[in-house]
Structure 1
Amino acid sequence: MATYLYRIGRFAYRRKGVVLSAWLALLVLVGVAAATLSGPTKDSFEIPGTPAQQTQDLMAERFPQAAGSDPMNALSARYVFAAPEGQTLDTPENVAAMNAVLDEIRGISLLPDAARGEPSPENPAALVDPVVADQQMRMMAEATAQEQGMPVEAALANAQALSPLSEDRTVGYVEVALDGEWADLTPEIKQEITDAAEPGRDAGLDVQVGGSAAQDTEMPGGTAELIGIGIAAIVLVIMFGSLVAAGLPLITAIIGIGISSLAITTATGFTELSSMTPTLAIMIGLAVAIDYSLFILSRYRHELSVGTDRAEAAGRAVGTAGSAVVFAGLTVIIALTALSVVGIPFLTAMGLAAAFAVFIAVLIALTLLPGILGLFGAKAFAGKVPFLSGRDPDADDAKPGFSSRYIAAVVKRPIVPLIAGVLLLAIVALPATGLRLALPTEATADPATSSRQAYDLMSEGFGPGKNGPLLVVVDAQDASVPEQEAFGAVVSSISAEDDVVNAQIVGVNEAGDTAQILVTPASGPSDQETMTLVDTIRGHESALHDEIGVNYGVTGQTAMELDVSDTLQGALAPYLAVVVGLAFILLMLVFRSILVPLTATLGFLLSVLATFGATVAVFQEGRGGLISNPQPIVSFMPIFLIGVVFGLAMDYQVFLVTRMREEYVHGAAPNDAVRTGFAHGARVVTAAAVIMISVFAAFMFEDNALIKSMGFALAAAVFFDAFIVRMIIIPSVMSFLGDKAWWLPKWLDKILPNVDVEGEKLRRHLDATREESEPARS
């Protein structure tokens, strides 16, 4: 492979015009496509086939009129009103203020025509203020109690559980269902939804807007990328001592993330992507793009320092360091694309988008970088910075630096740093035992947002469970008792639970064999008590089925989110097995060893556990004061983090240990190979790790909680893996194992193809070419 990459590097350097034109044309093409074909993003986290989704499908079948009411997909806005201190909402002034808001809502473009009309028995969809709605519900409850002979108190309690006005009449809300799909939710309509609250605020009410249509679906990003690029520029200047050389990896990275981000934006016009998908792809793509170009550029400088001409140096840099880039990129791509085997659509989309960004970064490093080097020619390392040495530290006559002295101490007593590194990561990992998972909702939003404030007002006025009611769909087609008796038995079973505030039938289909039961928990949607309640209600179904032949399921947004979290948690182990298995095989090809891939994988496990521990401590438990709103960790972050961290961990393993293997293959003793390989690779790996940490940490400045936590987790993961695992634990293990580190059974050695990452075949090829050319000259 090194020979083919060598030819690619030489070609790109010599035919720079063709290569640069092709990449710039591709950038323009995807830019035009993004501007003309892109669509809106959609933050919906659903998984087909979960119990809640199956129940939702049953409801759509038995209640056709509710087929479009999927809580994970329906467009709606909720306007929450709170009276000024010491007042209630039922005063004439406050009722007038709420109706002024309703008048503005009636002008929203996506509002159904029925909601714009005057309220009447023939038009129940018309908008009314919470005070009027409460009066209507109480009158209907009293009439129902008289007709059915039930206690009035019970009927009024049911009415209060459904009422949009709190019991103390200080908080009320209006639920506004909207027509259309997510693609119809333009920025102009979102502005209409937000602006509708202003008349109420001007009149002195506290009016907040929540609901799916009011959530922020804009793609976050911009500032973080600039911060990351700025810090990376400083590190590169220190690394190369040259302004021009420092700018080359940045130029290639910017072009790379430009192409990948625009392509992902274009994809939003053809498939559903969350607003976080492009940002996560850019976060990862930017970091690896800079690092991959850094590795090749560093090798290019080394080749020039030993007297190689520039075109030849470009070819050799791509053939040697480029081989490591290819395999490092492949491990990241494998880890990210393997997310598709979990079978979760939104997670698959995130993984494929990020993998695409890494793929582009690899191609950019192998082709565009040598093309740009050809364009700059002798000026590639121009713009020397005073007081910074631009000399190649890997040159044979370079003085031993800190890395040489450090690795000599590690090799001398490998057990001490090995134990210290493992203990440190184990201590950091301890908080991971308290890991709690939940999906991002209004409950986890920034307290400064209107949607979070609407959520908090609802909790204060109605109780936490009002924000996350459960819907139980009861199928009595095969019941051994009359349908109403079967429905009543389910209501009684649910009402007996301590965490249930109210359970009542809110709808029966035309056939009379299926009912909807609305359950209001005492706890909030993300609380453990609510999750336990869902499991308990589902657990009682089998007993009721055996007793009276009734079947039921639990759905609603809370139940759906719980199922998504459970599915994600259950997918961790199989995903980890697939990723580790595939990458282990890949690393065996690279290192032609059993123990080196094994120790690399074990090191990754230590890194990821420490990362989970640090993330739980900071974002879930609020330690360090880094965030003001501690919340459970987003459900899909652990599995996504495992994929990314594994790929990045193998990056540093490949870049650092490949150089050790190169020395060992060329005849160095095991400990000498570790010393020389580490001394040559440590500086560039350190620079790469600092750049990657900076890029990831910069995303902590984003407002989006998931992006903030993911940026922290990735930065922490790179720190733990690059500086603790790869620079302390792995050299200690390699030194301790000696020749055994490179052991490979003979039968396996014959089976595995020799991919020549260390460039031995390339060296022989170049030597043979040189020998053939010398007689020809003579």
Structure 2
Amino acid sequence: MRDRCVWVVGHLAGRCARYRWPLLTAWAVLSLVAALYIRDSDATYTQQVAPPDSQASQAMDRVAAVSPDGRLPDLETVVLRARRGTLADPLPHGQMTALIAEVSKLPGVLLVAEPTGPLGPAVLGITPVSDDQRTAMIAVMMKGGALSPNRGAVRHLIETARAYDGPELQVEMSGPGTTMIQSGHVSTTPLIFAVLVGLILVGAALRSQPGIVVCLISGAAAALLAVAATAWLAHKTIMTPFAPIVTGMLAFGICLGGAVVVVYRMQSALLRGEHRVQAAVSVTASSGAAMAAGGLSLTIATLIIGGLGLSGFGGIAFAAATVGAITSLVMLTLLPALIAASGTRLLGWTDRHYLSTAGTGLGRRPGLRSWWATLVGHYPAPVALAAGILLLGLAAQISGVRLGGGDDGTEPTSMTTRRAYDLISDGFFPGMNGPILVAVDQTAGARGGGRTVPAADIAAAIKATPGVMVTGVSIDDAKHGIAVVRVLPAAGPRTRQASDLVRKLREDVLPAVLHGSVTTADVGGPTALFDDAAADFRAGLPMLLFIVLVSVAMATFLVVPSAALAAVLGACATLSVLASTGALRMLFQSNGPAQRLGVTVSPVEPYVLVPIIVAVFGLAPGMNLILLMRLGERSQAGPGHSPAASQPSIRNGARRSLIRSSRDGIRHGHADLGHIVLTMNMVMLIVFAAIAAQPPRALKMMGLGLAAGVAVEALLLRMAIIPAAAHLCRLRQVGTTPRNDQQITVGGVRLTVPTVPILVGFPLGWQGSRWRNPSPTRDSIPVPNSPRTPDQTGARASTGTANHRALYRYRSRIPRHRTSPASGRPESLPNSRR
């Protein structure tokens, strides 16, 4: 099955490389169409916090049914505080009056409730002026909805109100629209710095400007298509506001990482003297097949997750499924065309000059990566055990994660929403920032179905509950049979006390007061919404982890048919997802790290965990499978491989290295590709660190969660567990035993000596759909006849054309010792020499 897949990928890559210019033109047109669609799509993104069938969601639906336009109103709050004296003083009072007059004339403003007028207490539920007369709240009802506010109108409101902030009056803003705008504010300085550092790292790894351009083009094309697909899906299903960022970043990261690996391997193939078409086919048939398997696993897994309807994963799961398909398409079509069109321009000037004169390129010193690969090869069990224990320890941190909801009080003090939260908490009480809404349904009683309970009785029972500060009936619509009771708790919305109050109302207070009646009541509000989302997320997490384990294991088994290795990688992928979540507990639910990050200890929101899990899972399979396939490559050529692609080449001034066993093959593959994979992980870490450097807490949490997941994958899986597990499982493929083994007799003992051909010059080539002797055309090179194997170390020039000759060198490694049958100890062989 694997060989057939590789053959198909090689055949497709050969066609793409041969018809590269029409294909590149088609991709340019497709990218332009995607960019225009993104600009004109007018997609709407909505944050669905609670599951549709939860009690909090039903309460919000009933509140929306009796609200204007049938949706939750967007109620923004302007918080004023007199810096000196009180708000009744002439100067602060005059500024407050002027602010109210100007805000009421803004477009998009439906209603302004003055603090000293009758509308203020009716809208907010309490007197909107503090007892010390220094703090006041101005309720501004916008024309948009709370879940989809008019951002332009809200932004204009913020600018107008904040203009009155001065030495006499402090002005801050809060509300759904303000929070959404503030949480989406992105500083460009960290991102620009991250991009520059990333380009430097990629340039240091590839040492070629055209190579960097090829990688960026592949990533940009994938990101454009992914964001366009997300915008199209936003018209079909509910899509979170994080979806375009996550899908674009996921597509760009997957394709950039895969493209860097492919370009690096293309450079290595060119340095061995391969033709550009042959090299493009060989590297795509190996690394491209691995990326396609990773993209396929991502697509299948996320489609299953979206189909099962796991909480919070619906829209973003389908968007991630399109990312998997898009990245596979880019890696198998666009990238082969790009590297084939670039050819030797992917090499530096020195390498191109040496290649044109000597037929091969300069050798690359392995350095530190060779030392680490040798160390892992010598001690695979201890390395795997140490990395596995560390991975289990990080994943175990998820047991202490508190899921729930944050609020404006958890944001950095540099944000106006956090300062408004503090002013309201100090001037009134913390629970004013997170009211609880109880939606009372009396429609059954209106149809004559039995006894009903008035909303006033329900409010009186709730007011007698400990922990409740203020309770009142804000809406009582007899026509629709729905009433809304506003409950203002003493504790803030992110605290355990607020969650306990919601639980007590649902389980004790409301069932007692509604017993024997047909009236029903659902508890909603910010605290209830996040608590319901957290409960539903916990219920669906085991199924999610099972899908991740099975999909990664199946993709691994497709690349390397080893059940043990597939199980190891599936389990490690699941643990890495848990480790990224556990890292958030250590960073955001401990006082020391939270203070250093400038935020407050608080629960972790499920809607933030969803994109983290999707991105960590999506970025992992492709790079893991690329490394795994490279570790399994041996000296025997197979379908879709160039014969020289897995043969060791003679490095300039270096000793010839022979792959004598599967251990040597794994070690050489780890040393050759491990540093490239690690470089790409470092680039992603820098980008995620730039996201974590943004002011909003949600972006900090997302950036650090993604960085933790990538760090675990890079430092534990790809540097340690995967190569160590490969050594322990001894990756074996067809053609493990070299075909040119010699039977020789030394001192009366008959030995089998492996003889590995070392190719210098132009290799045999893969020509599209089958192996054949190509004709002398622009994209093919005449293939010489294969030489016979000599008895001992030597060289023989092959017969061929005068302009294209290949020189095969053979080296026999003869053992200097043998094991004595009598003593079992090694003894020297006569006339043996190295």
- With structure 2 as the length reference, what TM-score do the two structures score? 0.76
Once the two structures are superposed, residues 242-275 of structure 1 have per-residue CA deviations (whole angstroms, 9 ceiling, x without a partner) of: 3332332123223432443455457667766444
State how far apart, in whole Å, the 1-side matches of 2:615 and 2:35 are: 27
8 Å CA contact retained: 2:174, 2:416: yes
State how far apart, in whole Å, the 2-side matches of 1:82 and 1:535 are: 35
- Note the 1:51-70 alignment, pairs <5 A: 51-59=55-63, 64=66, 68-70=70-72
8 Å CA contact retained: 1:469, 1:518: yes
Task: Give the letter aligned to residue 566 of structure 1.
Answer: A
Task: Give the letter aligned to residue 87 of structure 2.
Answer: L
Larger Rg: 2
> 1:501 deviation in Å?
1.6
The residue number in structure 2 matching 1:499 is: 467
8 Å CA contact retained: 1:260, 1:356: yes
Q: Indicate yes or no: 2:405 matched with 1:405.
A: no
Q: Indicate yes or no: 2:574 matched with 1:605.
A: yes
Alignment CA distance shift 1:397-1:49 (3 Å): same
8 Å CA contact retained: 1:241, 1:385: no
State how far apart, in whole Å, the 2-side matches of 1:560 and 1:453 are: 24
Task: Give the letter aligned to residue 76 of structure 1.
Answer: L
Alignment CA distance shift 1:628-1:421 (3 Å): same
Alignment CA distance shift 1:91-1:270 (3 Å): farther
State how far apart, in whole Å, the 1-side matches of 2:185 and 2:83 are: 35
8 Å CA contact retained: 2:47, 2:241: yes
> 1:209 deviation in Å?
1.8
Within the candidate set 695, 718, 740, 1:726 is matched to 718
State how far apart, in whole Å, the 2-side matches of 1:184 and 1:494 are: 31
State how far apart, in whole Å, the 2-side matches of 1:569 and 1:687 are: 35
State how far apart, in whole Å, the 2-side matches of 1:400 and 1:136 are: 73
State how far apart, in whole Å, the 2-side matches of 1:366 and 1:442 are: 46
> 1:6 deviation in Å?
2.2
8 Å CA contact retained: 2:278, 2:767: no
Q: Indicate yes or no: 2:682 matched with 1:682.
A: no
Task: Give the letter aligned to residue 70 of structure 2.
Answer: G
> 1:432 deviation in Å?
3.6
Amino-acid identity (%):
22
The residue number in structure 2 matching 1:714 is: 706
State how far apart, in whole Å, the 1-side matches of 2:733 and 2:274 are: 33
Task: Give the letter aligned to residue 485 of structure 2.
Answer: I
Question: Where does structure 2 lack aligned partners over 5 or more consecutive residues?
Answer: 638-658, 735-764, 776-781, 786-799, 802-834
Alignment CA distance shift 1:569-1:527 (3 Å): same
Q: Secondary structure at the match of 1:436?
A: coil
8 Å CA contact retained: 1:171, 1:461: yes
Q: Which moved more, 1:665-674 or 1:41-50?
A: 665-674
Alignment CA distance shift 1:505-1:128 (3 Å): closer
Once the two structures are superposed, residues 531-559 of structure 1 have per-residue CA deviations (whole angstroms, 9 ceiling, x without a partner) of: 11111111124444445564321123332
Q: Indicate yes or no: 2:7 matched with 1:8.
A: no
> 1:524 deviation in Å?
0.8
Once the two structures are superposed, residues 27-47 of structure 1 have per-residue CA deviations (whole angstroms, 9 ceiling, x without a partner) of: 222222233333465445343
Task: Give the letter aligned to residue 117 of structure 2.
Answer: V
Q: Secondary structure at the match of 2:554?
A: helix
Within the candidate set 248, 270, 287, 1:321 is matched to 287
> 1:470 deviation in Å?
0.9
State how far apart, in whole Å, the 2-side matches of 1:272 and 1:765 are: 44
The residue number in structure 2 matching 1:148 is: none
Task: Give the letter aligned to residue 133 of structure 1.
Answer: P
Q: Secondary structure at the match of 1:307?
A: coil
Alignment CA distance shift 1:620-1:547 (3 Å): same
Q: Indicate yes or no: 2:621 matched with 1:650.
A: yes
8 Å CA contact retained: 2:287, 2:629: no
Task: Give the letter aligned to residue 83 of structure 1.
Answer: A
Alignment CA distance shift 1:247-1:440 (3 Å): farther
State how far apart, in whole Å, the 1-side matches of 2:404 and 2:295 are: 31
> 1:24 deviation in Å?
1.5
8 Å CA contact retained: 1:252, 1:368: yes
Task: Give the letter aligned to residue 687 of structure 2.
Answer: V
Alignment CA distance shift 1:489-1:314 (3 Å): same
Structure with more strand by fraction: 2
8 Å CA contact retained: 2:573, 2:617: yes
- Note the 1:438-517 alignment, pairs <5 A: 438-439=404-405, 441-475=407-441, 477=444, 483=452, 487=455, 490-510=458-478, 515-517=483-485
Task: Give the letter aligned to residue 690 of structure 2.
Answer: A
The residue number in structure 1 matching 2:760 is: none
The residue number in structure 2 matching 1:578 is: 547
Once the two structures are superposed, residues 217-246 of structure 1 have per-residue CA deviations (whole angstroms, 9 ceiling, x without a partner) of: 457476555444322322222223333323
Q: Indicate yes or no: 2:606 matched with 1:635.
A: yes
8 Å CA contact retained: 1:506, 1:517: yes
Once the two structures are superposed, residues 635-694 of structure 1 have per-residue CA deviations (whole angstroms, 9 ceiling, x without a partner) of: 233343333323333333312222233339889755344334323332332223223323
Structure with more helix by fraction: 1
Alignment CA distance shift 1:96-1:739 (3 Å): closer
Q: Indicate yes or no: 2:381 matched with 1:415.
A: yes
Alignment CA distance shift 1:679-1:768 (3 Å): same
8 Å CA contact retained: 2:202, 2:212: yes
Once the two structures are superposed, residues 267-299 of structure 1 have per-residue CA deviations (whole angstroms, 9 ceiling, x without a partner) of: 667766444222222322222121111122122
The residue number in structure 2 matching 1:37 is: 41
> 1:434 deviation in Å?
2.8
State how far apart, in whole Å, the 2-side matches of 1:345 and 1:327 are: 27
Within the candidate set 621, 625, 631, 1:660 is matched to 631
The residue number in structure 2 matching 1:736 is: 728
8 Å CA contact retained: 1:220, 1:276: no
> 1:318 deviation in Å?
1.3
State how far apart, in whole Å, the 2-side matches of 1:314 and 1:51 are: 57
Q: Which moved more, 1:233-242 or 1:663-672?
A: 663-672
**RMSD, matched Cα:** 4.0
> 1:444 deviation in Å?
3.5
State how far apart, in whole Å, the 1-side matches of 2:210 and 2:426 are: 59
Alignment CA distance shift 1:732-1:316 (3 Å): closer
Task: Give the letter aligned to residue 769 of structure 1.
Answer: R
The residue number in structure 2 matching 1:111 is: 109
Q: Indicate yes or no: 2:223 matched with 1:253.
A: no
> 1:519 deviation in Å?
1.3
Once the two structures are superposed, residues 305-330 of structure 1 have per-residue CA deviations (whole angstroms, 9 ceiling, x without a partner) of: 33321111112221221101111222
Q: Secondary structure at the match of 1:162?
A: coil
State how far apart, in whole Å, the 1-side matches of 2:635 and 2:35 are: 47
8 Å CA contact retained: 2:688, 2:703: yes
8 Å CA contact retained: 2:10, 2:769: no
Question: How many residue pairs are counted as aligned between the two chains?
Answer: 715
State how far apart, in whole Å, the 2-side matches of 1:224 and 1:12 are: 38
8 Å CA contact retained: 1:40, 1:183: no
Task: Give the letter aligned to residue 604 of structure 1.
Answer: A
Q: Secondary structure at the match of 2:222?
A: helix
Task: Give the letter aligned to residue 4 of structure 1.
Answer: V
The residue number in structure 2 matching 1:179 is: 143
State how far apart, in whole Å, the 2-side matches of 1:198 and 1:225 are: 27
State how far apart, in whole Å, the 1-side matches of 2:537 and 2:308 are: 8
Within the candidate set 505, 508, 521, 2:489 is matched to 521
Q: Secondary structure at the match of 1:75?
A: strand
> 1:612 deviation in Å?
2.7
Within the candidate set 698, 702, 707, 2:694 is matched to 702
Alignment CA distance shift 1:397-1:201 (3 Å): closer
State how far apart, in whole Å, the 2-side matches of 1:568 and 1:655 are: 32
The residue number in structure 1 matching 2:743 is: none
> 1:88 deviation in Å?
2.6
> 1:466 deviation in Å?
0.8
- With structure 1 as the length reference, what TM-score do the two structures score? 0.81
Q: Secondary structure at the match of 1:130?
A: coil
> 1:103 deviation in Å?
0.8
- Note the 1:84-483 alignment, pairs <5 A: 84-85=83-84, 87-112=85-110, 115=111, 127-133=112-118, 162-180=126-144, 188-198=152-162, 200-201=164-165, 204-217=168-181, 220=186, 226-261=192-227, 264=230, 273-341=239-307, 343=309, 347-383=313-349, 401-429=367-395, 431-439=397-405, 441-475=407-441, 477=444, 483=452
State how far apart, in whole Å, the 1-side matches of 2:340 and 2:696 are: 41
The residue number in structure 1 matching 2:808 is: none
Q: Secondary structure at the match of 2:83?
A: coil
8 Å CA contact retained: 1:240, 1:389: no
The residue number in structure 2 matching 1:752 is: none
State how far apart, in whole Å, the 2-side matches of 1:212 and 1:632 are: 19
